[in-house]
Amino acid sequence: MLYIVLSILCSVSVGIIFKTARCSTIRNTQIIFCNYVVALLLCYLFFEPEPSVALYTSHWGIYTALMILLPSIFLFLAFSVKHVGIVRTDAAQRLSLFIPILAAWFIFKEEFSTYKVMGLIAGFPALMLILSKKSEKPTREWIYPAIVLIGFGIVDTLFKKVALFPAPDYTTSLFMIFLGALIITFSAVLYEVVFLKKKINAMNFAYGALVGIFNFGNILFYLQAHKQFAQNPSTVFAAMNMGVIVTGSVAGVLIFDEKLSVRNYAGIILALVAIVLIALSQIFG
């Protein structure tokens, strides 16, 4: 269980870092760029990928989509943490698991068990309750966690397809995707510096290095957990998603004093129920 706990802590730590990065000189693009520099280096050191093998693959369409989507969704993750807090953002990110499930149902015509259908039924009201927020003025802040949910759901669906490729192996594909995301974020930083006259700030790179370490740690420990529980992947699935929602909620409320309504708490509980039902569907089919 140690790997699962470490993966949960790494995942929640990313949100905490973005939450603390609030001063006027902070640029999320610079943070995300440095994140990919660090994640790419760690990926090369720990996984020993073979980039030359990936150069001649026929999977560049999916690679390119992920290269664009990953930094884009990361940017909206930062906005979501800033505007609606860690609790709602982490919950939205974890409930994104319903996107690949729906894709399996409607696109790939996968047969669904009763548990999975019940999980979906519980998931949608959970999302609405989590994202609801009392406000005297109309607000569109819900758009950020909504994009996080949809974006991570699409990313998760594409990564599932990448995992099925016979060649190159998953870690080599991951390295190439990180490399492409790095090039794209470098272009964004260069545009901001040259055309928008934004300054390079060392604090952005410090935050980015931390995000990169925890982002990669989340992936590394998650993969290790799946190896440890190879015969029972539903344990990793349920523990990881539930753990992030609970830990993110505790961090948001206790560390940052985020205000949650009764509806928000009800949504979090319903989300946990939905995840348990999805996990049971993996066990009983």
Q: Encoding tokens for residue 149? A: 């949910």
Residues 6+ apart with CB under 8 A from 107: none
Residues spanned by the domain of 131: 2-284
pLDDT score at 196: 93
Question: Above 60 in pLDDT, residue 81?
Answer: yes
Q: What is the pLDDT of residue 271?
A: 93
- How many structural domains are present in the chain? 1
144 closest CA partner among 159, 162, 153, 131? 131
When pLDDT is cut at 50, 70 and 90, the band that residue 229 belongs to is confident
- How far apart are alpha carbons 240 and 238 in whole angstroms? 6
Question: What is the structure's pLDDT at 102?
Answer: 82
Alpha carbons 245 and 203: distance in angstroms, whole number: 28
Q: Residue 277 in contact with residue 115, Cβ under 8 Å?
A: yes
pLDDT digit string (tens) for 66-75? 999 999 999 9
Q: Are 54 and 178 in contact (CB under 8 A)?
A: no
Whole-angstrom Cα Rg for the chain: 19
Percentage of residues in the chain having pLDDT higher than 90: 65
Query: Letter for the amino acid at 32?
Result: I
Q: What is the DSSP secondary-structure string of 68-103? A: HHHHHHHHHHHHHHHHH-HHHHHHHHHHTTHHHHHH
Q: How confident is the model at residue 254 (pLDDT cuts 50, 70, 90)?
A: very high
DSSP letters spanning 11-70 = HHHHHHHHHH--STT--HHHHHHHHHHHHHHHHHHHH---HHHHTT-S-HHHHHHHHHHH
**DSSP class per residue in 96-161:** TTHHHHHHHHHTS-----HHHHHHHHHHHHHHHHHH----SS---TTHHHHHHHHHHHHHHHHHHH
> What does the alpha-carbon distance between residue 37 and residue 42 come to, in Å, rounded to a whole number?
9
Phi, psi of 62 (to 5 degrees): -70, -40
> What is the predicted pLDDT for the residue at 35?
97
Residue type, 49: P
Residue 13 has pLDDT above 60, yes or no: yes
Higher pLDDT, 192 or 109: 192
Q: What is the structure's pLDDT at 167? A: 86
